[in-house]
Structure 1
Amino acid sequence: MGSMPIGAKLMGPGCPWWDMRVAWGEPNIKWCEATLCTWVNEPANAWSNLAYFAVALWCWRHWLLTRSRAMGRFAWVTLLVGMLSFAYHATNNFGTQLLDFVGMYVLVFLLVAVNLHRLGVLRKEQVGRVHWGLTVGATLLVPVMKQVHVPYQLVILFAVLVIVGTELRLARQEKHREVSRDFRWAVGLLAVGAACLVMDLTRVWCDPDNHWLQGHAAWHVWSALALLFAARHYSRLMERSGREEAREGGP
């Protein structure tokens, strides 16, 4: 069992971010890690977001080498997810939790829109409008869902199921005969991360005073690795699509 750092106390009046918590209210979920009276009040859950920064850096490096649009997109989106998630777990209030969800919505709805285009449901020029429309709509829905006590985490779950479902449907089409190995790795790593998330939420894996490793922190690491393989998957898809368009437009 871990132990609370000597001299540490739980978040309360007079602590950093307390006034923001009073003004904005509490998040709709309390993860296992104890919320400390410090500037980073959930250290394990906050600093584990460095995994997203590392993946964003990896994607950015590959974008510099290949100029892959997919790698460029994943670089900035993964960085956004990491930054907003760090801000949330450092401060713990509904306002920064909403920002955390904005980052996740930007990511998942980008992939939803891209896959709908690949299926022929959306034209290329519609992808951006649908992406940002879904992102804004889902963000505006969060306060409503909070008010009626419906977990807005369900929106992320639904979007992920749409992404996986559309990939499986594409795999049955002639041009996409099987789901790529990279995408299978992404789904597998995401499933491991989700298991850690559930164990944290249900307190199966829970030591509140351990500020080095938590189930939610493990989710950050596993899901960041999943994004790395997703970036590889979509980058190769765009390369193949570019080659096919070049052949079709050739002499």
Structure 2
Amino acid sequence: MNGTAAPEKLLQPGCPWWDMRVAWGEPNVKWCEATVCAWVNEPANAWSNLAYLAVALWCAWRWRVTGSRAMARFAWTTWLVGAFSFAFHATNNFATQLLDFVGMYVLAFLLVALNLHRMGWLSRERVGAVHVGLTVGCTLLVPVMRLAGVPYQLVVLGAVLVIVGTEVRLSRRKDPRESYRDFWLAVGLMAAAAACSVADVTRAWCDPDNHWVQGHAAWHVLSALALLFTARHHAGLELRR
């Protein structure tokens, strides 16, 4: 033994998920972490999704204790985000990347529809239809954007901007009893999460062989915490109503 680590075996023919990658194609982004020949081929980016599952379990517990419909919504949508993101980072191909986006769309467009209802622009009866319509429509749009070479991450960015923009507008006319502390904590955490993810994809923060800490893995943990505070915000609004 010479004391040096053997080079890791990267994803190649014969590895788990290779055939699926060949059949469906590569995702439209390559995160810094090296894609290794294993059943979980981006360990840091995959296992960091347990943060979403932890938040989902916390929301489910709060739902059982308080009966909050907001906590129930965040329990299942946050679980979906974590499960689908884990599947994508474990396998790395376009099919599971599309699944990852479905999870994000389900959560983001639910918040968009709920905020439009709170703004008075959408009746309660139409919230479900708008949520489903936006989720399905934007999912079908992903292959089109892929063919056109347009980053479909822009759809998620647009949804987040709508959520933040409508919340800011609602905060200006809030009831004196309402607190936006949890909302602003969520915004701060999302900003930090986005900075980590951008640093990863631009290789400003990049060590491909580190399978414990990655910029995109930090995005998962910080954005999961942001969802926790967003859930608290919505549950507080529900309680005051």
Q: Same fold (TM over 0.5)?
A: yes
Please state how far the C-alpha of 1:173 moved relative to its aligned partner.
Answer: 1.6
The equivalent residue for 1:239 is: 239
What SS does structure 2 have at the residue aligned with 1:137? helix
1:140 is aligned with what amino acid?
Answer: L
The whole-number CA distance in structure 2 between the counterparts of 1:229 and 1:5 is 42
Change (3 A) 1:5 1:29: farther
The whole-number CA distance in structure 1 between the counterparts of 2:7 and 2:26 is 25
CA RMSD of aligned residues (A): 1.4
Q: After superposition, what is the alpha-carbon deviation per residue over 1:130-160, rounded to whole angstroms, capped at 9, x for unaligned?
A: 0010000000000000000100000000000
Q: After superposition, what is the alpha-carbon deviation per residue over 1:61-117, rounded to whole angstroms, capped at 9, x for unaligned?
A: 101100100001100100000000000000000000000000000000000000000
Change (3 A) 1:194 1:176: farther
Matches within 5 A, 1:156-167: 156-167=156-167
- Residue pair 2:178, 2:237 contacting (<8 A) in 1 also: no
The equivalent residue for 2:181 is: 181
The whole-number CA distance in structure 2 between the counterparts of 1:239 and 1:133 is 28
The equivalent residue for 2:125 is: 125
The equivalent residue for 2:206 is: 206
The TM-score normalised by the length of structure 2 is 0.96
The equivalent residue for 1:106 is: 106
The equivalent residue for 1:228 is: 228
2:96 is aligned with what amino acid?
Answer: T
Structure 2: state its 5+ residue gaps. Answer: none
Matched, 1:24 2:24: yes
The equivalent residue for 1:36 is: 36
Moved over 2 A (4+): 4-8, 174-179
Matched, 1:73 2:81: no
The whole-number CA distance in structure 1 between the counterparts of 2:218 and 2:11 is 23
The equivalent residue for 2:169 is: 169
- Residue pair 1:171, 1:177 contacting (<8 A) in 2 also: no
The whole-number CA distance in structure 2 between the counterparts of 1:232 and 1:44 is 28
The equivalent residue for 1:246 is: none
The whole-number CA distance in structure 2 between the counterparts of 1:35 and 1:72 is 35
Please state how far the C-alpha of 1:240 moved relative to its aligned partner.
Answer: 1.5
Change (3 A) 1:138 1:113: same
Change (3 A) 1:238 1:174: closer
The equivalent residue for 1:137 is: 137
- Residue pair 1:84, 1:100 contacting (<8 A) in 2 also: yes
Aligned length: 238
- Residue pair 1:170, 1:176 contacting (<8 A) in 2 also: no
Matched, 1:90 2:90: yes
2:38 is aligned with what amino acid?
Answer: T
Please state how far the C-alpha of 1:8 moved relative to its aligned partner.
Answer: 3.0
The whole-number CA distance in structure 2 between the counterparts of 1:23 and 1:186 is 38
Identity value in percent: 72
The whole-number CA distance in structure 2 between the counterparts of 1:19 and 1:5 is 28
- Residue pair 1:10, 1:36 contacting (<8 A) in 2 also: yes
Change (3 A) 1:197 1:5: farther
- Residue pair 2:52, 2:78 contacting (<8 A) in 1 also: yes
Please state how far the C-alpha of 1:171 moved relative to its aligned partner.
Answer: 1.3
Please state how far the C-alpha of 1:197 moved relative to its aligned partner.
Answer: 0.4
Please state how far the C-alpha of 1:239 moved relative to its aligned partner.
Answer: 1.4
